[in-house]
Amino acid sequence: MKKVILTTALIIFATAFASANSPSRVLTFKDSFGKILTMPLMEEKEKEEAFPFDQQKVFHKAALENASRIIDISGMSKPEAEVDDIPAELRNIIAR
């Protein structure tokens, strides 16, 4: 039963997306209560933006900052415990 509901929902969404490319430039949705939602479609056009700075230099600088960032992980690790590796027989010979 779940597969039938999922398949039906996918078909409904697919038809909605297929109608978005219709030449009428209107997208309509119909719900189970009989209400119809109509949305006009507008084609998105590419627009050239003029930045008040040199875009390539700023992006290059940001990329270099990310690549050369120093990450301090000292807070994530514990310091090593001090090890007493001098044997008991040699402690009086070796002065610390």
- Secondary structure letter of residue 85 according to DSSP: -
Confirm whether pTM is higher than 0.75.
Answer: no
6-34 pLDDT per residue, tens: 888 888 877 776 655 555 677 888 888 88
Q: How far apart are CA 73 and CA 44, in angstroms?
A: 46
pLDDT digits (tens, 9 = 90+) for 68-78: 888 888 888 88
Q: Which amino acid is at 69?
A: R
